[in-house]
Amino acid sequence: MISKKIIIFLLKMTAKLFYNLLLSIPNKDTFTKDEIKKIYFVYLEIIKKKRQKDDIDTLTDNISNLSINEKSIKKNVNDIKQMNDDKPVKVNIFELLSKNNYINEKTEGNESIHSFSYLASRKNLGQSQKISLGICMERLLNDIISKCPDWKNIRPKNEKGKKEKDSLWLNEKLKKIIYAEYKANLELDTEKSKETDRKCKNIGNELKETYNDYNLTCVIVGLRYLSNKEKLIEPILKKYTDTPIYGINDYLELFNIKCFDNYDEYKKVIDKIIELKF
């Protein structure tokens, strides 16, 4: 049996231990239920380490030796201090912005050199205008080719569920078909370039089945370039393995059309489109 005095003494000592645990937590005046639970579990761990057998005397001696000094408390309340980290963190975003070297490193907002709109003299085109500019050039190319009497435009109307074709021409005399996809920017990521390449290959296979008596040519036309012999286009060519990349002049030569002698002439046409369209 344990006397009432011993029980009272034990309660006093455990209360003192718990009280000191609370004091060891910095900058805390109030506690939530969850925090009290965490503190209590730490308290139990300390008691477990100090617990002896049933001998009352050794138990009493052990409790009296429970010197709750700062060092012993700190060793057992690391996870309690961690509770301060659960508070919402306030961040001064503008201060971080001012100190971030990468963000503060000035960069030019120039158009990609591989973009069709890079050739335009006007540099303040919006994204929708750049898209529209590419479409205008596509329409102009088709208008140019339509001036060749032997070539017939057989591009079908867009149908839901079927891949669109940018350009499709047939020459009955020569038994030739030329299918092309126009691209305003061929500097696509690997996945998108593969998708474009695959689309042209699949449509080409379909056309071969439909027009098996014709000689079929499938190409991707980069509106940004006059020729695929330019050094600038070399890294782009490696991204497309199934379909050849042509510049504007390369493509028009398939129809025996000579159009642009140099980039100055080509840029004048682009600027005229912008003048008329925007």
DSSP per-residue codes, 65-117 = T----HHHHHHH-HHHHGGGGGSPPP--HHHHHHH-HHHHS----PPPTTBGG
Q: Which residues have C-beta within 8 Å of that of residue 168, sequence separation ≥ 6?
A: 153, 154, 155, 156, 177, 178, 179, 180, 207
The pLDDT value recorded for residue 161 is 73
Greatest mean pLDDT range, 75-79, 103-107, 213-217: 213-217
The mean pLDDT of 251-274, rounded to a whole number, is 94
Lowest-confidence range among 25-29, 49-53, 162-166? 49-53
Give the model's confidence band at 25: pLDDT under 50 very low, under 70 low, under 90 confident, else very high.
low
Distance from C-alpha of 229 to C-alpha of 11, rounded to nearest angstrom: 91
Residue 82 φ then ψ, to 5°? -65, -20
The yes-or-no verdict on residue 5 having pLDDT over 70 is: no
The mean pLDDT of 107-136, rounded to a whole number, is 86
The pLDDT value recorded for residue 95 is 73
- Taking the CA atoms of residue 3, residue 6, residue 10 and residue 15 in that order, the dihedral angle to the nearest 10 degrees is 100
The pLDDT value recorded for residue 166 is 93
The mean pLDDT of 199-213, rounded to a whole number, is 94
Percent composition of the chain: helix, strand, coil (DSSP 3-state, to 5): 55, 10, 35
Residue 42 φ then ψ, to 5°? -65, -40
Mean pLDDT score of the chain, rounded to an integer? 79
List, for residues 188-202, the tens digit of each pLDDT value.
777 888 899 999 999
Are 157 and 136 in contact, with CB atoms under 8 Å apart? no
Distance from C-alpha of 141 to C-alpha of 222, rounded to nearest angstrom: 12
pLDDT above 90 as % of the chain: 46
What is the pTM assigned to this prediction?
A: 0.61
**Residue with the larger pLDDT of the pair 105 and 192:** 192
The yes-or-no verdict on residue 154 having pLDDT over 90 is: yes
Q: Concatenated DSSP letters for 118-183?
A: GG-S-----HHHHHHHHHHHHHHHHHHHHTSTT-EE-PPPP-TTS---SEEEEETTTTEEEEEEEE
The pLDDT value recorded for residue 68 is 42
Lowest-confidence range among 124-128, 155-159, 209-213, 258-262? 155-159
List, for residues 35-68, the tens digit of each pLDDT value.
666 666 666 666 665 554 444 444 444 444 444 4
The pLDDT value recorded for residue 96 is 73
